[in-house]
């Protein structure tokens, strides 16, 4: 369910398929990650309160029983806490059955908010933030121009969780390429262990023409992983994850070769066993 009068394509996490997608911004405030083509041609703008409230009224006519709302586009947390509170308050008064509001949060935007501000947002109704960690390796984060280092990413993830908001973290298999695969896997596991997100999803690197990473591949500066190498990297990542609280794990994104799901650490051995079966298949055993 998309209420949209803006430009460009609309993206949302798979888990928000049944949510009302409300574009409070158009595009991404960062819009500089070397692998990302999502909003590359979309000029970033924040919608005015009048526009947003008008969209909410339109949505109420079409979808009055809305329970979940996803605030799009790329980094809704770029808005001030006051703006977000006023939008959530309008949503609550418009949709009596509303149970949760969710959004993407860029690490720098999260770090611009205090734990107290995030807690107030959670109490107002912001229940889940999706954070693209992508990698826990500083070299990879610099190369893909994520805009933060690994410890800033840890601080952002921990801050969301400290406020009581659920954190859905995403990492990208293959983002270190052939050269940095091992350090990408090990350091991503290290960062994930420090954050211990509520939900963890792995995506597999997809190269899009026109992105800086795609250009690097053309120049031979970045060698993508093969399917088998991607599975080996996932095994290295999973093997090194050691959470202290349960974390829902999914690798069900369309980009992935092998859909896996379970709860970490409880299902770690089962997930590794499923993964090993497929790796053996590649080895012809
Ligand atoms: S922050 Fe997210 S949406 Fe924005 S450029 Fe990076 S990956 Fe793309």
Please tell me if the CB atom of residue 74 comes closer than 6 angstroms to any atom of ligand 1: yes
Q: Is the pTM of this model over 0.85?
A: yes
Half-sphere exposure of 69 (CA within 13 A, CB side): 31
Residue nearest to atom 8 of ligand 1 (CA): 36
Please tell me if the CB atom of residue 30 comes closer than 6 angstroms to any atom of ligand 1: yes
| CATH fold of the domain at 2-282 | pyruvate-formate lyase- activating enzyme (3.80.30)
Domain-by-domain residue ranges, the chain? 2-282
Ligand 1 centroid to 207 CA: how many Å?
A: 14
Question: What's the pLDDT score for residue 69?
Answer: 97
Give the tens place of pLDDT for each residue, 12-60: 888 888 899 999 999 999 999 999 998 888 889 999 999 999 999 999 9
Give the tens place of pLDDT for each residue, 198-208: 999 999 999 99
User: Any long-range contacts for 157-160 (C-beta under 8 Å, 24+ apart)?
Assistant: 157/107, 157/131, 157/133, 157/191, 157/194, 157/195, 157/197, 158/194, 158/195, 159/110, 159/111, 159/113, 159/115, 159/118, 160/105, 160/110, 160/118, 160/129, 160/131
CB neighbours of 122 closer than 8 A, spacing ≥ 6?
163, 164, 165
Ligand 1 centroid to 145 CA: how many Å?
A: 10
What is the position in ligand 1's atom list of the atom closest to the CA of 28? 4
The span from the CA of 122 to the CA of 184, in Å, is 32
> pLDDT 10s per residue in the chain (285 long)?
766 666 667 778 888 888 999 999 999 999 999 999 988 888 899 999 999 999 999 999 999 999 999 999 888 999 999 999 999 999 999 999 999 999 999 999 999 999 999 999 999 999 999 999 999 999 999 999 999 999 999 999 999 999 999 999 999 999 999 999 999 999 999 999 999 999 999 999 999 999 999 999 999 999 999 999 999 999 999 999 999 999 999 987 767 778 899 999 999 999 999 999 988 877 776
Question: What's the pLDDT score for residue 2?
Answer: 66
Residue 149 structure tokens: 């280092």
Please tell me if the CB atom of residue 263 comes closer than 6 angstroms to any atom of ligand 1: no
- In terms of Cα–Cα distance, which of 71, 72, 70 is closest to 27? 72
Question: What's the pLDDT score for residue 258?
Answer: 80
Please tell me if the CB atom of residue 132 comes closer than 6 angstroms to any atom of ligand 1: yes
CB 205 within 8 A of CB 229: no
CB 57 within 8 A of CB 94: yes
The span from the CA of 173 to the CA of 222, in Å, is 14
Residue nearest to atom 2 of ligand 1 (CA): 74
Residue nearest to atom 1 of ligand 1 (CA): 30
């Amino acid at each position: 369910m998309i209420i949209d009068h803006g430009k460009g394509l609309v993206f949302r996490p798979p888990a928000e398929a049944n949510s009302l997608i409300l574009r409070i911004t158009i595009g991404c405030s960062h819009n500089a990650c070397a692998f990302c083509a999502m909003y590359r041609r979309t000029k970033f703008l924040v919608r005015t309160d009048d526009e947003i409230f008008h969209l909410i009224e339109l949505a109420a006519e079409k979808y009055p029983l809305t329970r979940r709302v996803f605030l799009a586009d790329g980094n809704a947390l770029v808005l001030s806490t006051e703006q977000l509170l006023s939008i959530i308050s309008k949503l609550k008064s418009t949709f009596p059955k509303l149970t949760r509001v969710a959004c993407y949060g860029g690490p720098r935007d999260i770090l611009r908010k205090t734990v107290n501000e995030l807690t107030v947002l959670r109490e107002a109704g912001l229940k889940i933030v999706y954070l693209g960690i992508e990698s826990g390796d500083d070299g990879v984060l610099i190369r893909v121009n994520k805009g933060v280092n690994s410890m800033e990413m840890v601080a952002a993830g921990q801050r969301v969780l400290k406020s009581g908001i659920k954190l859905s973290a995403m990492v990208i298999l293959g983002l270190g390429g052939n050269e940095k695969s091992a350090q990408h896997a090990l350091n991503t596991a290290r960062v994930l262990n420090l954050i211990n997100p509520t939900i963890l999803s792995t995506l597999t690197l997809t190269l899009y023409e026109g992105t800086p990473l795609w250009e690097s591949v053309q120049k031979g500066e970045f060698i993508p992983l093969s399917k088998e190498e991607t599975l080996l990297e996932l095994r290295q990542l999973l093997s090194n994850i050691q959470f202290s609280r349960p974390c829902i794990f999914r690798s069900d994104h369309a980009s992935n070769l092998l859909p896996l799901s379970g709860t970490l650490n409880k299902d770690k051995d089962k997930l590794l066993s499923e993964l090993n079966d497929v790796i053996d298949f590649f080895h012809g055993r």
